[in-house]
Amino acid sequence: MVVTRFAPSPTGYLHIGGLRTALYSYLWARKCGGKFLLRIEDTDLKRNSKEAADAIVEAFKWVGLSHDEEIYYQSLRFDIYKKYVQQLLDEGKAYYCYMSTQEKEELYEKQKANKERTRYDGRYRDFNGTPPAGVEPVVRIKAPLSGEISFVDGVKGEVKFNVQDLLDDFVIARADGTPLYNFVVTIDDALMGVTDVIRGDDHLSNTPKQMVIYEALGFKIPKFYHVPMILNPQGKKLSKRDGAMDVMEYKKMGYLPEALLNFLIRLGWSHGDQEIFSLSEMQEFFDPNDINKSASAYNAQKLEWINTQYIKSLPTKRLIDVLKEYGTDLSEFEKAEDLVNLLKDRAKDMNEFSLMASSILNTPKEYDEQAVTKFLNKESLELLSAYNEVLKASGDLISTQDFEIKAKELLEMQGKKLKDLAQPIRIAMVGNAVSPSVFDVLSVVGYKNVIQRIDNLLDRSK
């Protein structure tokens, strides 16, 4: 069974690069009928925070990628890691190293002076004398001393590391007994049965170290997929200004999670020239072996475009739910579906959608000065008033056509044009001269409220 995981470190928020690898991992597990795990890598007690971990989980909920099993927290698993450190010590595959900080500095200075790579020199590898007093030892693993470590990466193909260039007997547990990053990642991936590790290629140089640990413990090495970074349009590292921000900022900006996921899947993967994918299509088509080898570029306009496509095409009920999160509660509103359908082709993002929806839902409290000056005068107010009298006399009107027919009859009688009436109606309905088709708006606002809103404006203009 394929098991994947997303393993963020809560040093900050969930950012889009992380969300993309999470999405890839999620899709692959779901496609294969496997499992997708969420593991919070919070062993660095100085740099991690509970708030950041909670924020990541919240962002994860927002995008709707469900994970299997409970959320794992590495900070609750120290006993497990200790056991494996001890096992390696017992088997002679790891050892205590008593090199003091001063000795280490001296060693590195010497290596630098000789233009060598700074690395541990193995001085305690075979030590069995009396440990020096006053030094709490770290635990180092016996890494290969020469040769190559290689593996076939699902994205990059064959990757080779020369041991001399990269490895030394690296530390797996600090002097206070706490385990180090590469060690815990490996233990957890192995114990959780992770078969496919999909992660950013900033982790590529960790992989040979992790392979040393897998081998020392006799664990099966998973398949790795190292995904190239997302760059800005200039080909540089993505900065906050370019879009490298907390995933929840995208929510604040009015992006739908569906749109964000669709945007992210295409950053680094494609399926012909298709741009819009439902989640089930993503699952059907995605394969991590098809991830692009080269880095992808962030494109803000494309994200906006995808967002508008999703706003247009999402089921009305879903949009009604989302609007609530943006402050417009349509749950009690009889014509909620009509209202949403009226606006969904016009909204650029959910903030705008919510503003437009609430301006139709609620009686205007104030009127846009410019629109008032431009469109309201004695004549247009008289026409508006005449229309209201027609409505009052007509009895309940419901459909767009009902309102339209009454208006046309009146305009014909008075020899006026639709534009003479449409803008004053808009101002009465939503407080400004911008709205969807005016009779659609009237139908959604509803007969009684229409009359009331026109009266409000007329009263105010007396």
Q: The tokens of 223 are what?
A: 């398949």
Number of residues located near ligand GLU, criterion CB under 6 A: 7
Q: The tokens of 224 are what?
A: 């790795």
How far apart are alpha carbons 306 and 260 in whole angstroms? 8
Nearest in space to 296 (alpha carbons), one of 275, 274, 270, 273: 270
CB-side neighbour CA atoms (13 Å) of 313: 11
- Residue 296 interacting with ligand GLU (CB under 6 A): no
| Binding test (CB under 6 A) with ligand GLU, winner from 2, 3, 4, 8 | 8
Query: How does DSSP classify residue 329?
Result: -
Report the residue number, 23 or 320, with the smaller CB distance to ligand GLU: 23
Q: Strand runs (DSSP E) across 346-444, as ranges?
A: none
DSSP 214-279: HHHHTPPP-EEEEEPPEE-TTSSBP-TTTT-SBHHHHHHTT--HHHHHHHHHHTT--STT-----H
- Residue 179 interacting with ligand GLU (CB under 6 A): no
Q: Which residue is nearest to ligand GLU (CB)?
A: 199
- Residue 288 interacting with ligand GLU (CB under 6 A): no
| Binding test (CB under 6 A) with ligand GLU, winner from 185, 212, 256, 320 | 185
Q: Could you say which residues in the range 344-383 bind ligand GLU, by CB under 6 A?
A: none
| Binding test (CB under 6 A) with ligand GLU, winner from 15, 20, 140, 199 | 199
The interface region with ligand GLU, picked from 3-11, 142-150, 219-227, 282-290 by CB under 6 A, is 3-11
Q: How far is the CB of 15 from ligand GLU (least distance, A)?
A: 10
What backbone phi and psi angles, to 5 degrees, belong to 437? Answer: -45, 130
Q: The tokens of 214 are what?
A: 């897998």
Q: How far is the CB of 201 from ligand GLU (least distance, A)?
A: 11
Contacts of 395 (CB under 8 A, 6+ apart): none
Q: Which residue is listed with tokens 């301006």?
A: 359
Q: By rule CB under 6 A, what string of x and - marks binding of each residue 14-53 to ligand GLU?
A: ---------------------------x------------
The interface region with ligand GLU, picked from 6-14, 63-71, 327-335, 369-377 by CB under 6 A, is 6-14
Report the residue number, 7 or 438, with the smaller CB distance to ligand GLU: 7
- Residue 7 interacting with ligand GLU (CB under 6 A): yes
Report the residue number, 199 or 453, with the smaller CB distance to ligand GLU: 199
Q: If residue 160 lies in a helix (H) or strand (E), which one and from where to where? A: strand 157-162
The interface region with ligand GLU, picked from 7-15, 60-68, 408-416, 421-429 by CB under 6 A, is 7-15
Q: If residue 38 lies in a helix (H) or strand (E), which one and from where to where? A: strand 35-40
- Residue 201 interacting with ligand GLU (CB under 6 A): no
How far apart are alpha carbons 337 and 323 in whole angstroms? 12
Q: How far is the CB of 63 from ligand GLU (least distance, A)?
A: 17
Torsion sign over Cα 195, 197, 203, 204: positive
- Residue 195 interacting with ligand GLU (CB under 6 A): no
Which residues are paired to 140 by β-bridges?
95, 171
Contact residues toward ligand GLU (CB under 6 A) are 7-9, 41, 185, 199, 203
